[in-house]
Chains A and B, each alone.
Chain A
Amino acid sequence: MTQTETTPAAERGEAVIDVQNLHKYFGDNEVLKGIDFHIARGEVVCVIGPSGSGKSTLLRCVNLLEEPTSGTILVDGDEITDPDADVDALRARIGMVFQQFNLFPHMTVLRNLTVAQEKVLKRGKAESLEIARANLEKVGLSDKADAYPAHLSGGQQQRVAIARALSMNPDMMLFDEPTSALDPELVGDVLAVMKDLAAEGMTMMVVTHEMGFAREVADKVVFMDGGVIVEEGLPADVLGNPQHERTQAFLARVL
């Protein structure tokens, strides 16, 4: 049996992301085998685990990029797995940052940041620009406003991607291995931006291999393996004193 504690009902009330008994199949392959998982407001949760453990799938289920096979996901108390849920409105409230950045290559950096503000949130041009510039400033890339993504380094592209997500004023942010595609010397800038965000109280779910970041920034670390949550708790406990042998074996390999 896993060591996952069941979430007390009282605590569940303040959870911004509340995943209950989530199963996900790709064909016959069961990738998530009954996940219970929650994130409280303002919490930073790092999800770690070997590749193929289902951690990215879990993250992608939270904003329905993957359709859960069964189970319930509540975001801010709204059941997003309900067929009647307005998924587009929900996604606008959840920022997402991808491993491959996924900036729009046919638009300038500034346009990347304003397009969804205008088309989805129906903000005016001036307001969108103002918010976009403020967020570019925040990630330290004000001077790149008029550049095209192809002219930026990977680290700069990822910071623009974070700024793009922030420009929608999301309630929470999902990071899917945000530094895995970066050259080692560019990782630090991106992590620094994420640390700032965490310090501002942003609710964050981060799938990552950066154990240092998890140890330093996370309020909670979740270790997944084989489609289940094997162990979760404070970073010092899970990373420093893992109870489960699968966690120990994984950490021995990556640390």
Chain B
Amino acid sequence: MSSATAVPAKRMSPRKRAALVRYIQYAILVLVVVVLALIADWGEIRRAFLDLDIASQLFPDVILIALKNTIFYTACGFAFGLALGLVLALMRLSSVGPYRWISTGIIELFRGLPALVVFLVLGLGLSLAFGVSPSNLTIVTLALGLVGGAYMAETIRAGIQAVPKGQYEAARTLGMTHTRAMVTIVIPQAFRIILPPLTNELILLTKDSSLVYILGLSLDEYELTAFGRENMNANANLTPMVTIALCYLLITVPLSIVVRRMEAKSGKAR
């Protein structure tokens, strides 16, 4: 063989070395899994995490109340956040100084605060400051919307700036006003670009909706995490937590799949 003369026999080719490294990695992975499986107490795990009797007691409330509320709170917060984010993004891109300053202030404030703090301040503050006592739904919508909107504003701004300037110019040369050009030409393209990060934000909000527990919920207001905690404590068992964890995945995994589909489709149209 020619390679035998060209390369010293004991030196491995880079490709072979890479393959060997991969085999070693697989071997370590298998070893770790096997060791963990051997030392785990399977009986205890099944009892604490996968108690089917407890799990069956959770139905149908876990779906009809908890999952429904999680989706509902998230949807309300996301809808408000999206609208707010769009307004803030357009303000940030405005040529009017005060618009830019105000939106920058709002964005920095709500991006910088833990969502829990926003929930608490709104939950207690609105009644103290304005003498109104808003429903939990209003507070969760406002809090999730403010936090999510601050993040989404930056995403939307980046998306608008990613649309080539020629698109806006072409729209204007066809006689469209600034607003018309943004609404019909620029923003639809921007949203196509930022669909993945926006969905990411929706997934984050889904999880942040659990913070609503701080407001003190009535039974029919429970969302997944509050429901899981309540039942975990009542049964001294982790099965409810496993159940609600699966419910969260039931929301988030399909979202990821939908986005991947949309990306593939818009990739074709571009």
- Mark A residues whose CB is within 8 Å of B: 63, 65, 88-89, 91-96, 98, 100, 102-106, 115-116, 119-121, 148, 150, 161, 164-165, 168
- Please determine whether B167 and A88 come into contact, CB atoms closer than 8 angstroms: no
| CB neighbours of A88 from chain B (8 A) | 172, 175-177
Classify the secondary structure of B's interface with A.
Answer: helix
A164's nearest neighbour on chain B, judged by CB, is B174
Asked if B38 is at the interface (CB within 8 A of a chain A CB), the reply is no
What separation, in Å, do the CA atoms of A41 and B260 have in the docked complex? 53
| CB neighbours of B269 from chain A (8 A) | 105-106, 148, 150
What separation, in Å, do the CA atoms of A103 and B170 have in the docked complex? 8
A65, A95, A102, A120: the one contacting B176 at CB < 8 Å is: A120
- Please determine whether B180 and A102 come into contact, CB atoms closer than 8 angstroms: no
- Please determine whether B170 and A102 come into contact, CB atoms closer than 8 angstroms: yes
| CB neighbours of B170 from chain A (8 A) | 96, 98, 102-104, 161
In the complex, number of A-B residue pairs with CB atoms less than 8 Å apart: 67
- Please determine whether B174 and A116 come into contact, CB atoms closer than 8 angstroms: yes
- Please determine whether A104 and B173 come into contact, CB atoms closer than 8 angstroms: no
Which residues of B, 85-139, contact A by the 8 Å Cβ criterion? none
**Proximity bits, B171-203, A CB within 8 Å = 1, else 0:** 111111100100011001100100000000000
A100, A150, A168: the one contacting B174 at CB < 8 Å is: A168
Assuming the contacts A105-B270, A106-B192, A106-B269, asked whether A65 and B173 have C-beta atoms less than 8 A apart, the reply is: yes
- Please determine whether A120 and B169 come into contact, CB atoms closer than 8 angstroms: no
| CB neighbours of A119 from chain B (8 A) | 176, 180, 184
Min CB distance A58 to B, Å, is 15
- Please determine whether B173 and A91 come into contact, CB atoms closer than 8 angstroms: yes
- Please determine whether A116 and B175 come into contact, CB atoms closer than 8 angstroms: yes
What separation, in Å, do the CA atoms of A233 and B245 have in the docked complex? 78
